[in-house]
Amino acid sequence: MHLAYFTEQPMSAYPEEEGRKAGHTALMFSNRFYDRDAASQLYQDRITEYKLVEEVGFDGIMLNEHHNAPFCMQSKCNIFASILAAITERVKIVLLGNPLPLTENPVRLAEELAMIDLVSQGRLVSGFVRGGGTEQLAIGVNPAYNRERFEEAHDLIIKTWTEPGPWRWEGTHYQNRVVNPWALPLQRPHPRVWIPGIASRETVVWAARHRYPYVCLNTSVEDTLRVWKLYAQIAEEVGFQPGPEHRGYLLRVHCADTEEKALANARQFTWMQGEFTGLAHPVWSAPAGYNPAKQRQVLVEIAHGRRVARRDVGFEQQIENLRIIAGTPDRVVEQLRVIMEATRPGIFMIWGNDGFVTHEDSMRCIELLGREVLPAVREIAAELDLKDPFEVGAPVSEAAAQQQPSALRA
């Protein structure tokens, strides 16, 4: 089992009352409230924490990016990936991921990722995402072509990594007349691609068609199982048997020395007026054309207050139904077993600290997770036979599987 650590890297120094006054904390919440001095210190704290993450035995560090909001300080995940490439030695650098449609030049992105893989000596896992609706507005990218750009950018990046140049790309959204970068990833045929999501059907299908692991981002157990079912259906069409190595799960888990402290800190997972990703007008989250046409009715109804968006229930209930796990190491292990048995992932992302959790408490949480929780989780994983893509040597993609001798194709 691959066990990675994750934090959104919150800009916890933002003035909460200003967010309440503005009525939103995403996209249009003014960056005049951005505290530069605190931000610089917060980055230092994250670097110290990431070093400890490696030291205490995690297999990977998951990074992501968001824009125009205090809930995530990473506006370019490749920056922290580059830092980790240099300051860590062993952990995988798991990007979940680069929002492809936001890039105007996927070849540049392919170069950056190749450099990260080279500097880290082959430790990159290069996930790709579409980016949220607000992200399109924050970067000024046309939401109506989001999925087309995602798929074309992906195809161009994989080709850049795998087909010797120079060659020419004349696509719909991207045109590059001389593709021949002198930066290629160390891993062959290319770094692993994992696709995270919150269960958008189109993305699950796309991931399964490519044989990429799909990482459910903090979805309920029921939704997660629905994703696995859909993934398995598509895998069958493609011609492979999916296993734990194709299934990733991200879960909020906070560990502390006492139950009280763990619960108090875990409450921070619901910071920012109760909605982690900040308050945004629903029309910003679902700009016209960003979502499939069949969702149009539901989305315009939500945008006009005629339907309530499906939201997470309250903190207590999330603790109750294991959407958030908090406690001392023993208690956490006990609960993780339930989740592992129910969802059977080979890739487990532990979202450890967020909101206003202090640096000291974050360090302690990482320490406890690494030294006490992870060894027990590895035992459970062995017992449940939950292996990750590295352990089973899974082909990095369906295309790569087709290149292998038939005896090796599963």
Partner 1 sequence: MAVTEALPEAPEQFVEVVGEKIHWLQSGSGDSLIVLHHEIGNPGWLPFYEQLAQRFTVTVPDFPGWGQSERPLWMRSVRDLAVELNLLFDQAGVEETVLVGLGFGGWVAAEMATMNQSRCKRLVLVGATGVQPPEGEILDQFLYAHMDYVKMGFHDNDNFRRVYGEEPATEQLMDWDVHREMTARIAWKPYLFSQTLPYLLPGLTTPTLIVWGADDRIVPRSCGERYRDALPNSRLEVIEGAGHFVEMEKPDELSRLVLDFAGA
Residue ranges binding partner 1 (CB under 8 A): 28, 137, 140, 142-145, 281-284, 287-289, 296-297, 299-301, 303-304, 306
**H/E segment holding residue 74:** none
- For partner 1, which is the closer residue by CB, 142 or 162? 142
Q: Find the shortest distance in angstroms from Cβ 99 to partner 1.
A: 17
Q: Find the shortest distance in angstroms from Cβ 30 to partner 1.
A: 14
**Integer Cα distance of 297 and 304 in angstroms:** 11
The residue to which tokens 């059977």 are assigned: 344
- For partner 1, which is the closer residue by CB, 30 or 241? 30
Please provide the DSSP assignment of 329-388 as one string: HHHHHHHHHHHHHHH--SEEEEE---TT--HHHHHHHHHHIIIIIHHHHHHHHHHHT---
Give the torsion sign (CA, 205, 208, 210, 212). Answer: positive
Specify which residues 247 forms β-bridges with: 214
Could you tell me the two tokens for 406? 């038939």
Q: Find the shortest distance in angstroms from Cβ 142 to partner 1.
A: 4
Give the torsion sign (CA, 288, 294, 299, 300). Answer: positive
- For partner 1, which is the closer residue by CB, 194 or 284? 284
Q: Find the shortest distance in angstroms from Cβ 322 to partner 1.
A: 35
Q: Find the shortest distance in angstroms from Cβ 306 to partner 1.
A: 7
**Integer Cα distance of 112 and 280 in angstroms:** 31
Residue 404 contacts residue 395 (beta carbons within 8 Å): yes
Instruction: Name, in order, each residue with C-beta under 8 angstroms of 15's C-beta and a sequence gap of 6 or more.
Output: 33
CA end-to-end span of the chain, whole Å? 19
- For partner 1, which is the closer residue by CB, 226 or 281? 281
Q: Find the shortest distance in angstroms from Cβ 293 to partner 1.
A: 8
- For partner 1, which is the closer residue by CB, 51 or 281? 281
The stretches of 170-306 forming alpha helices (DSSP H) are 201-210, 221-238, 259-266, 282-285, 296-303
Q: Find the shortest distance in angstroms from Cβ 168 to partner 1.
A: 21
Q: Find the shortest distance in angstroms from Cβ 223 to partner 1.
A: 26
What's the residue count for the chain? 410
- For partner 1, which is the closer residue by CB, 140 or 164? 140
- For partner 1, which is the closer residue by CB, 301 or 312? 301
- For partner 1, which is the closer residue by CB, 299 or 401? 299
